[in-house]
A and B are shown apart, each in its own frame.
Chain A
Amino acid sequence: MNNAFDLVEMLEGRRVVVVAGAGGVGKTTVSAALALGLAARGARVAVVTIDPARRLASALGIDDLGDTPHRVDPARVQAAGMRMEGTLDALQLDPQATFDRLVAREAPDEAAREKILRNRIYRHLSTAVAGAQEFMAVERLHELVDSGHYDAVVLDTPPARNALDFLDAPERMTRFVEGRGLRLLLGPRGGVGRTGWRALQAGGHMVMSVVERLTGAQLLTDISEFLQSFDGMYEGFSERASAVRFLLASDSSRFVVVTGPRPEPAGEAIALWRRLRDDRYPLGAVVVNRVHPQPGGADAPPAALAALLADAGAPDPEGLAARAADALAAARARSAADRHEIRAIAGALDAPPITTVPALDDDPVEVAGLARVTRELEGG
């Protein structure tokens, strides 16, 4: 299937490109290929991956893909037959490190900072609180855009059943840290404080004593300390949350939704696109990844193929010719099913810009492989 437009060109000049979609559809590869295309055209680009992506790191020639941006050697890109006019940096999200920096920036003083970093609730936060990882991803995006080092940041979003969790993450996290209501109930040492006593009419005290009975006092003390240590920091948090939301909804951003040509990820992609459209986020395109190409040629008369196979010394030329014909029929069916799925996506979404990437036998392990994906995204 030929792509009618150039996705890299469509994204040129945007400060943020968010790549979203169901798990397992090749978001990371598409993110890296788009970043490569933008960098090749002269932009200073950073690509942020959420999941550990060892193969991508080695494809880009980066030994330890981590929280600090690593520059991709332009010689590698040029060796892959691509002119590199700009720069490409890659980094992998480290949620805890990102949050530590946020705390360091927002904390009023050293003592407050240390208190938060030592708190047990805080230390479990990035792994255990739902949405924490998404929050950190958005925060890291904010940092990178703010740094002024990049013209464009390509964000490979966390895999989630609802791939849009991360859009709500900043506000959810801010609300959590704010912990209204709960703060009233917990005194400075945990357990039920005197303020709590006074503020409570609706049996809140009993609620807290029940919780205390079940969890022991320690947990409440920790939560109380945690919430208190964020005193005076909510403003900073919520300001950042709304700044990010504003940026993502502005014309400086584009959302790219990636899917495979199968009903399940396609269903998620359709839901995602609709939700983005309803919430007025700036839409880019749908990328259908790993599409089986249409085999060329007509169906071979088995006798003709069998004769050739006999010539080539095949042990059972007729049987082999029949099985080869089956393989061709299966390949045609697969390709037809893929095209059907692409039409279904187009139909469900009122013909959005759709671009396809053919199935490669392997995830790209070299810059050359990524460059191939880039060229497909540029319109093939």
Chain B
Amino acid sequence: MAMEGPPLIDRRMAFVLGKGGVGKTAVAAALALGLADAGHRTLLVEVGAETRTEALFGTAPALDEPVEVRPGLFALTVDAELATQEYLSIQLRVKPLVEMMARSRAFHQVTQAAPGLAELVTLGKIWDLATTVRDGAPVWDRLVVDSPATGHGIALLEAAGNARDLAGSGPIRDQAEAIEKVVRHPSATGIAVVAMPEDLAVTEAIEAVELLRARDMPVACAIANAVRRSAFSPADAQALRAVLAHSAAGDAERAAAAAAIAVTDGAHHDEREVEGLGRESGLPVAVLPHVPDLAPGSGGLEALSAALMRDPAVRGAG
């Protein structure tokens, strides 16, 4: 299947999607770091109240104002409630009116009762950040969105389309249409689906890609995270297996040979999973190594970022 649109790193908005536990947040941070290092003014967006950016950069993202966590790399947490208030103040302009709305119990119930409204304002805020221009130039060259875990991540991307269906008329409908155009456009937006090289995770990633495609969403690539590699050649593996069967081998030799064979088996297993992911999703797959320590100062995130940025699945074949 041919890939539509430019490589992921050339799109203004990247949405990083994946199930819980696949390392989505680390991959999003690594991508954002790589883009910033490449000279793009980059904003890493986290969605929802809980944040992991702090654990990766040592600086907590702020709720209302982007915080510079590395040179040229900023982080921001988008919270639906704050985004709703911000939206109201832009729309209504009259401060007392905005305050009254924010205090109104009825208003909160409307926002609860309108399905997907929280996602819509969140997506709207991201869209707004992506399209804001100052002095004739975009404020942000790149946005990397650490999306909520898959089911919800797709709901976020679908929010604009849903709103178009639900709100029959009025400014929200028009805005939803404008947002939808950008989010669906493969030259502006790219979705990266993250998976671990495990059966279940790969199956789920493939299902997510199918769902996204069915909804005309611009999927750019898949990213296989924490893929084990082997430092042993097939000839090595053969000799190691011979040692296991060797009558002169003691427990200690067997333990070392078995540990090495387990590494080659693990690497083969992961290789098959990565191949399956590529074959069944029809997407280019970036392959990231297993990085045990991502804490600030460990160099782990930088290593992950370097591996991601040199992968042709992310940067294009050229």
Contact = CB atoms under 8 A, between A and B. Distances in A.
Contact of B104 (A203, A300, A330): A203
Contact of B256 (A51, A125, A222, A324): A324
Nearest to A220: B110
B13 interface: no
Contact of A361 (B88, B236, B240, B269): B269
Contact of B170 (A207, A216, A298, A314): A216
A265 B21 contact: yes
Given A297-B254, A300-B253, A207 B259 contact: no
Interface stretch (B139-147, B192-200, B216-224): B192-200
B60 interface: no
B43 to A, nearest CB: 22
Contact of B115 (A125, A202, A308): A125
A327 B262 contact: yes
Contacts of B101: 207, 210
B104 to A, nearest CB: 4
B201 to A, nearest CB: 7
Contact of B203 (A54, A265, A299, A311): A54
B96 to A, nearest CB: 10
A23 B112 contact: no
Contacts of A133: 151
Contacts of B199: 55, 362-363, 365
Interface residues of B, number: 75
Interface in B153-207: 155, 162, 165-173, 196, 198-201, 203-204, 207
A312 B170 contact: no
A215 B170 contact: yes
Interface string A346-379: 0000000000000001110100000000000000
Contacts of A207: 100-101, 104, 106-107
A216 B172 contact: yes
Is the contact region of chain A dominated by helix, strand, or loop, or is it mixed? helix
Interface in B65-105: 88, 91-92, 97, 100-101, 104-105
A161 B20 contact: yes
Nearest to A325: B256
Interface stretch (A69-77, A174-182, A232-240, A276-284): A174-182
B3 interface: no
List the 6 closest A-B pairs by CB distance, nearest first: A24-B21, A23-B20, A218-B168, A297-B255, A128-B115, A312-B242
Contact of B166 (A124, A203, A325): A124
B287 interface: no
Interface string B231-252: 1110110111011001011111
A305 B116 contact: no
B231 A323 contact: yes
A344 interface: no
A374 B262 CA distance: 24
10 contacts: A53-B200, A159-B149, A202-B104, A214-B91, A223-B110, A298-B252, A312-B243, A313-B238, A327-B256, A328-B256
A227 B119 CA distance: 22
B214 interface: no
Interface residues of A, number: 81
Is the contact region of chain B dominated by helix, strand, or loop, or is it mixed? helix
A42 interface: no
A97 interface: no
A124 B115 contact: yes
B307 interface: no
Contacts of A130: 118
Contacts of A260: 21
B252 A216 contact: no
A309 B240 contact: yes
Given A312-B239, A365-B199, A215 B114 contact: yes
Given A323-B231, A331-B259, A309 B115 contact: no
A100 B233 CA distance: 57
B255 A300 contact: yes
Contacts of A325: 256
A22 to B, nearest CB: 6
A211 B107 contact: yes
B167 A328 contact: no
Contacts of B91: 214
A131 to B, nearest CB: 10
A297 B252 contact: yes
B167 A218 contact: yes
A222 B110 CA distance: 11
A299 B255 CA distance: 8
Given A297-B255, A312-B238, 16 more contacts: A52-B207, A128-B119, A181-B105, A214-B172, A216-B169, A264-B21, A297-B250, A304-B252, A305-B256, A309-B240, A311-B248, A312-B246, A315-B236, A320-B232, A324-B260, A327-B260
B129 interface: no
B168 A217 contact: yes
B170 A299 contact: no
A321 B110 CA distance: 68
Contact of A182 (B100, B113, B250): B113
A120 B259 CA distance: 58
A12 B162 CA distance: 45
B111 to A, nearest CB: 9
B266 interface: yes
A101 to B, nearest CB: 20
Given A210-B101, A308-B253, A216 B115 contact: no
